[in-house]
Structure 1
Amino acid sequence: MAIRLLLVDDHSIIRAGYRQILQKHRDISVVAEAETGQCAVNCCKEYRPDVVVLDLSIPFNNESDEVSFACGLETIRKIVALRLHTKLLVLTAMSNEPFPTQAVTAGASGYLTKHCAPEELVVAVKAVAKGEQYFSASIRNEMNPDSETNAPLVNLSKRELEVFSMLAESFPINQIAESLCLSPKTVHAHRANILRKLKLKNNAELVKMAVRYGVAVN
């Protein structure tokens, strides 16, 4: 029986590329696509896919143009909460820690970067469909606590990392507060802690670090 697959990415051309790669294999069938987290959750309820391949940087719904890794993590958690035994494979541009670990903690079974070879994507889909975990070699190195390449972002808490991601994408404090169900005062406090922990002086330096570690685009 073919592996039933749901593709989740907010760029239709990227989803089309994935579909072309995966559907060359008779034992893989793309049953649905989604461009937001909420759409992905709804598709899981309707199609009950075996595997969801998703980007972390997606909007959660169409009412907001907010795109952040926090939305991707929330999507993973909501799909896991459905208890459909659907496996989740992250395919994203963010390769540095703590993003892989955060994704696994949320419920992902595998993690690839968008630099992976098409063949590796196929191998990863088949592995997680069988209940295995799959991480590309570079991601395994990042997740190794002894790795010298670990980003300083590992020093941030889960909530601080969410705030960091949204600050890096230049979201206003009030919008961050509303999105994360926090007060603006609390967001300001998180921002101060982030700058202190990362030894940064201002948002400009924060954005530069985010670009360096793949959290934001240049």
Structure 2
Amino acid sequence: MLVDDHDVVRAGFSRLLESSGDIRVIGEARLAEEAVQQYPQLQPDVVIMDMSMPGLGGLEGIKRICSNHQDARVLVLTVHENEPFPQRAIAAGAKGYLTKRCAPEELLEAVNKLANGQEYYATNVRSILKKQSREISEGDALTRREFQIYELMARGLSVSEVADTLHLSVKTVHTHRANLMRKLDVRNNAELVMRAVQDGMLEQ
């Protein structure tokens, strides 16, 4: 199942996958919410998930699919290749992580490995994961919920819109917002967006 909010991107990857002869695309979704709803009916061997999408976003989509279906195999395919995205995706349950700059052959290899119960991570992602001794950065220190709110607010959502998206109270979002802004040492939304750009949170 392909999950990406860009129709052209899904169409291109769908053609690539099916041209291999042994992979069939049985479902597509534009939003993580749709993927979560479709997964039980489709039961795909592999879910290819983008990270940056409107609504819940890929991170929460991965978490919900993997927490509800223990045998789910999610391959992240994203423009984000820097910390803390790989760690967050893997912590949410992803079994593979590639960037959209990968070669077509690598995507096919990753899909086949996940379908066979293995894991697959791009070379640069493996390097990030092996840095056991590195100092934890401010971004890594964020909780999963704080990271979600950071991503949504960086995309321009208001506190009330974040609350609606994540099904939280406005008060709860305000609390998480205050904590993440303290950890990131930013004072307002403008500085938060600037920090998100520096951290590679936003697509260029």
**Larger displacement relative to structure 2 (76-85 or 141-150):** 141-150
Q: Map of 1:84-103 to 2, 5 A cutoff?
A: 85-103=71-89
CA distance, structure 2, for counterparts of residue 92 and residue 9 of structure 1: 9
Alignment of 1:190 onto 2:196: no
Alignment of 1:178 onto 2:147: no
Q: Per the alignment, do residues 143 and 152 of structure 1 end up closer, same or farther by CA in structure 2, a change over 3 Å counting? A: farther
Alignment of 1:52 onto 2:47: yes
Residue deviations 1:26-50, cap 9 Å, x none? 1111122111223223432333211
Which amino acid is 1:166 matched to? L
Residue deviations 1:8-41, cap 9 Å, x none? 1111100011112212211111122111223223
Aligned counterpart, 2:95: 109
TM-score, normalised with respect to structure 1: 0.82
Q: 1:24 aligns with which of 19, 25, 35?
A: 19
Alignment of 1:211 onto 2:197: yes
Alignment of 1:41 onto 2:36: yes
Q: Is the 8 A contact 1:48 1:84 kept in 2?
A: no
Q: Is the 8 A contact 1:141 1:147 kept in 2?
A: no
CA distance, structure 1, for counterparts of residue 96 and residue 190 of structure 2: 33
Aligned counterpart, 1:75: 61
Q: Is the 8 A contact 2:78 2:100 kept in 1?
A: yes
Q: Per the alignment, do residues 180 and 138 of structure 1 end up closer, same or farther by CA in structure 2, a change over 3 Å counting? A: same
Q: 1:31 is paired with a residue of what secondary structure?
A: coil
Q: 1:171 is paired with a residue of what secondary structure?
A: coil
Unpaired segments ≥5 residues, structure 2:
none
**Larger displacement relative to structure 2 (159-168 or 187-196):** 187-196
Corresponding pairs, count: 204
Residue deviations 1:41-86, cap 9 Å, x none? 3432333211111112224xxxxxx3xxx53223223323453733
TM-score, normalised with respect to structure 2: 0.87
Residue deviations 1:108-167, cap 9 Å, x none? 110111121211111111111111111101112222344769753112111111111111
CA distance, structure 1, for counterparts of residue 111 and residue 151 of structure 2: 27
Q: Per the alignment, do residues 84 and 45 of structure 1 end up closer, same or farther by CA in structure 2, a change over 3 Å counting? A: farther
Q: Is the 8 A contact 2:74 2:95 kept in 1?
A: yes
**Larger displacement relative to structure 2 (14-23 or 30-39):** 30-39
Q: 2:129 aligns with which of 134, 140, 143?
A: 143
CA distance, structure 2, for counterparts of residue 147 and residue 113 of structure 1: 24
**Aligned-residue RMSD, C-alpha:** 2.3
In proportion to residue count, which structure has more strand?
1
Which amino acid is 1:204 matched to? A
Aligned counterpart, 1:131: 117
CA distance, structure 2, for counterparts of residue 49 and residue 185 of structure 1: 38
Unpaired segments ≥5 residues, structure 1:
1-5, 60-65
